[in-house]
Each structure stands twice: as C-alpha cells, then as structure tokens.
Amino acid sequence: MKIERREFLKLGAAVAVGLGGGLTLDVLTKTKPAAAETRTDVAGTRVSSKALHAKRWAMVVDASKFKTEEDFRRVKEACVKAHNIPDFGPDSKHQIKWIWEEPFERTFYGVDDPYLPEAIKKENFPVMCNHCENPPCVRVCPTQATFKRPDGIVGMDYHRCIGCRFCMAACPFGARSFNFVDPRPYIKDINPDFPTRTKGVVEKCNFCMERLDQGLMPVCVEASNGALVFGDLDDPTSDVRKILDTHYAIRRKPELGTGPSVFYLVGGGGAGA
C-alpha cells in the first residue's frame, strides 16, 4: 500500500510538472493507458491500480468560465448521466441535485453586499457538496452511512443510510437531497456502472470517487472545458494549489469552520487569464 501510494504521488507530481500552468486537466486522463488492471483493496472494493490518490481532494471553480447556460448544462448533464440522477422536473419538492447553479446572493448567502459590481451580482455559480474538512453531516450521522475518506472525500453508503435526514439539517450548504420516492422511474437512461438509489436514502455529490478510483477525473471537471480544476490541496505543486497561490479565491460560509474543499474565483480574470 505504502509503496503504491508513493508511486502515485510521484506520478502526480510528474504529471503536474508536465502540465505546467496552462493545460487543462483533461490531458491527465488522456495520458492514462486505456487498460487499467484492477485489484481489490482492504475494504473489498475493486480499485484500479491506476487510481488517483490525494491527501485532500479539492476543486477550484473558475466562475468566469461559466458564462452561458450551455456551460452549466454540459457539466450538470455529465453528472446526471454518470450518477443516475432522476429528473422530477424543476419545480418538484423532491428534486435530487448534485451540482447545479445558483446566483451570487444564494451561493454566498450572508455576503449580502449591495455595492458589488452588477456583473458579479448577476453571475451564476455551480454549487455542490463542498467535501468539508470538518463535515457536520458526518458528525451527526447516527450510522456512519456518511463518512469522510482519508483523501478528504465525504461519501455515502446508500445501503446503510436509514433516511433520518439529520445530515440534511446539519449541512450548511444545502448540498444534500433525499429520495422522497423511488427515483428509478425518473432516470432518463440508466448508467449500469453506477448504482441507482432506492427511496428513503440521502445522496449528494461524491466528487466522482468511483472515477478517481479508476484513474479518471470527475466527470464535471472533464466536461467543464477547464472551468473546474481538480487536484490535491495538500500538494503544493498541484493545479489547484497553483491557482490558489496566485489568485484570490473564496469559499462558501468559511466562518462556520467546516472547511469547504471547493474554492471559487469570483469576478472574472480567472485562472486562465
């Protein structure tokens, strides 16, 4: 395990160096050999030997690159498809949302400044689970059905969840959805590689842990044309760290101390500029 981990860190570093500053992370996945061996890890799940590892996965949202509805649609649809997310219609009380857009005043509720530039006030931002460093959702879960992995990802065990919804009350970011009814009839086309959920359990964005374990970047990151950057927050050479070192990024509700792992570049002049 240890040797493997070190190898991956080296690999990660090499890739990061190779990328320099300007390339999108798509390259990373494309440089992977197609056929990845799989093995079974301690927990009994099959993990590719190509799995990507990190001490703490994080994401930087370059809001300047989310301009049109199409920019959001591409990202949302990739996620919906990959994760069998049902569609109950936009006005349903039972909506399931993993990644979606909200205007500035909702995304950053509390940062209510009337003198912000119009452009920012009108801007939309993608929101999702922040994979918090101190996740209150994990703290309150009475069955450990939601848990924090060593790589910082906050995951869900849909088979253990009893549907008490304590985590929904505890999440300060509205990141969680509950299956009020059986979602299966509302899934457009089922992706057989990802589980569908049953009624009565909670779900949310999982930072594509199933893809990271196969050596792939999150599907939204891939679909974002570089607007979402993903990497290891603990690694000073990672792409996310390079952006954070040189740009002013904000997080949602930092004052609550949950330590979100999603950062936002706000107000144009994003990472690419």
In the complex, the residues that contact another protein under the rule CB under 8 A are 93-95, 97, 102, 105-107, 109-110, 112, 136, 139-145, 160-166, 168-174, 177-182, 198-202, 256-258
Does 152 interact with ligand SF4 (rule: CB under 6 A)? no
Query: Is 155 one of the binding residues for ligand SF4 (CB under 6 A)?
Result: no
Binding-site partner at residue 217 among ligand SF4, another protein, none, CB < 5 to 8 Å by type: none
| Binding-site partner at residue 140 among ligand SF4, another protein, none, CB < 5 to 8 Å by type | another protein
- Secondary structure (3-state) at 70: helix
Provide the sign of the torsion angle of the four alpha carbons 250, 253, 257, 258, taken in this order. negative
Q: 97 phi and psi, to 5 degrees?
A: -130, 130
Here the tokens at position 165 are 């919804």
Measured from the CB atom, the residue of 161 and 217 that comes closer to another protein is 161
Q: List binders of ligand SF4 among 178-237 (CB under 6 A).
A: 204
| 143 interface partner picked from another protein, ligand SF4, none, CB below 5 to 8 A per type | another protein
The residue among 97 and 131 lying less far from another protein, judged by its C-beta, is 97
**Which tokens hold the place of 59?**
């994401």
| Residue with Cβ nearer ligand SF4 (51 or 154) | 154
How crowded is residue 233: how many other Cβ atoms within 10 Å of its Cβ?
Answer: 21
Residue 135: contacted member of ligand SF4, another protein, none (CB under 5 to 8 Å, by partner type) = ligand SF4
Q: How many residues does the chain have?
A: 273
Q: Which of 56, 65, 76, 176 binds ligand SF4 (CB under 6 A)?
A: 176
Q: Decide: is 136 part of the binding site for ligand SF4 (CB under 6 A).
A: yes
What does 202 interact with, of another protein, ligand SF4, none (CB < 5 to 8 A by kind)? another protein
Contact of 197 with 181, CB cutoff 8 Å: no
For residue 170, the minimal CB distance to ligand SF4 (Å) is 6
DSSP, residue by residue, 194-242:
SPPPPTT-EE---TTHHHHTTT---HHHHHTTTSEEEEETT-TTSHHHH
Name which of 89, 81, 97, 78 is nearest 26 in CA terms: 78
Interface residue with ligand SF4 among 125, 173, 207, 263 (CB under 6 A) is 173
Q: Binding partner of residue 204 among another protein, ligand SF4, none, CB under 5 to 8 Å per kind? A: ligand SF4
Question: Residue 119 and residue 124: Cα distance in Å, rounded?
Answer: 10
Which stretch, 34-42, 74-82, 126-134, 238-246, contacts ligand SF4 (CB under 6 A)? 126-134
Burial class (CB in 10 A: 0-12, 13-18, 19+), 51: buried
What's phi and psi for 64, nearest 5 deg?
-65, -20
**Rounded Cα gap, residues 59 and 269, in angstroms:** 17
Phi, psi of 47 (to 5 degrees): -125, 130
The site for ligand SF4, by CB under 6 A, has a size of 14
Q: Which residues bind ligand SF4 (CB under 6 A)?
A: 129-132, 135-137, 154, 171, 173, 175-176, 204, 258
